[in-house]
Amino acid sequence: MKNIFSFFVCLLIVHYSVAQTYSLAPSSGQNGFVVFDSRNTNSLPQDKNMGFYGDFKTNVTDGLNDGGTYNGLLTFRQYGINTDFSGGLSHQLGFTDNNNIWIRSGSYSTWGSWYEIWSSENLNKANYINKENQNYYQANTWIQFNGNNYGLYFPNSGSGVHLAPNSISSYGSFEIDGSKNGYTGILFGSTNTETTPNVMFDENGNGGVDYQGNIWGFYYDLTNNYLAIGGTNNAATGSLYAGGAIFNNNVLIGKTSQTNTSYKLDVNGNIRANQVTVNATGADYVFDPNYKLSSLDSLNNYIRLHHHLPGIPSAKEMQKSGMNVGVTETVLLKKIEELTLYVVKLQKEVEELKAEKR
């Protein structure tokens, strides 16, 4: 508004100065600015020498088709005569009947296009920009359009801009911020602080969606290379956190850390499946003719001493370290095959005893 006001003050000063220079008296007896009725002549830039000129034109003549039939034309050539444009272009202001102002420039025999620099819409008091002194999170600059206020907040630190949705006292729902509440970058929110932004992107390329408390609906961190879904923004480097599961080379379900990182799948809870396939080597070597089967006496002594079968971990070890399903299945198969050999051997001895009694 100040710039437009200054512009018209300058026009008035120029108007007065030119009027005094020409000292032409209209019918009212007062000094005035001469306006020529050249309605049907489209003067070229080189047709008017250095100075100010006023003309009355039809819209068709100078191509200023912006409401009504006629327009007022103010020509200013700052330097030169005829084709000497070494001091710059010639300029024209066009005033139309619908209160708009247009400008164009040219040289020699060619005028440039018209550009609107003032619109009558600017006179509508329902549309304007103003400054408002509000609290830190509220708008200190606002735009009123069609009776509605749209607030902008520019922090004194120059760290960003906040956009309020519908009034100068509303809190911002969109922010481009340098640093506030630990976040930097672009934030979308609906509260008066950015501790719970709906969407956040920072200058490092990190970002998240729907932050509630200390949990993100979705959060990615390019700095530490992890992705969290329904979790915190401090997951392990290079991991994917989804609900209660963490994927980081190893998969953790129902827990956030491992005592033994050699396990690729670590579950704190029950597992149910229709089928589980485990790689195993088998124990067919037990039936090899050269396999040395322990005697029953030796087996009995081991059991009495250790209270479990040879090659089988004790209950205490299983409780502490769990058991390897593949290895355990192979060992159990070995024991079954050894048991089969014991039974076959005993059957043979029984048959021999029966034969002796006959």
C-alpha span between 90 and 80 (Å, rounded): 9
C-alpha span between 45 and 54 (Å, rounded): 14
**Full DSSP string of 320-350:** HH---HHHHHHHHHHHHHHHHHHHHHHHHHH
pLDDT reading at 206 higher than 70: no
Helix (H) or strand (E) holding 354: helix 325-357
- What residue segments make up the domains of the chain, in order of their start? 34-123, 128-267, 284-357
Give residue 136's pLDDT. 40
Instruction: Sort strands 226-231 and 240-242 into parallel, antiparallel or unpaired.
Output: parallel
Instruction: Choose among 43, 42, 48: nearest CA to 83.
Output: 48
C-alpha span between 118 and 104 (Å, rounded): 13
Instruction: Choose among 89, 73, 69, 61: nearest CA to 33.
Output: 73
Which of 144-153, 167-176, 211-220 comes out lowest in average pLDDT? 167-176
DSSP state, residue 273: -
260-299: pLDDT as tens digits: 888 888 888 888 989 988 888 889 999 999 999 999 999 9
Q: What is the CA angle 3-9-10, rounded to 5?
A: 90
Q: What is the pTM of this model?
A: 0.39
Q: How confident is the model at residue 137 (pLDDT cuts 50, 70, 90)?
A: very low
**Full DSSP string of 215-245:** EEEEEEETTTTEEEEEE-S-PPTT-EEETTE
pLDDT reading at 57 higher than 80: yes
C-alpha span between 256 and 235 (Å, rounded): 9
- In whole numbers, what is the pLDDT of the chain averaged over residues? 74
pLDDT reading at 172 higher than 80: no
- CA distances from residue 241 to 148, 230, 251, 253, 267 in whole angstroms, order as listed: 44, 8, 10, 10, 14
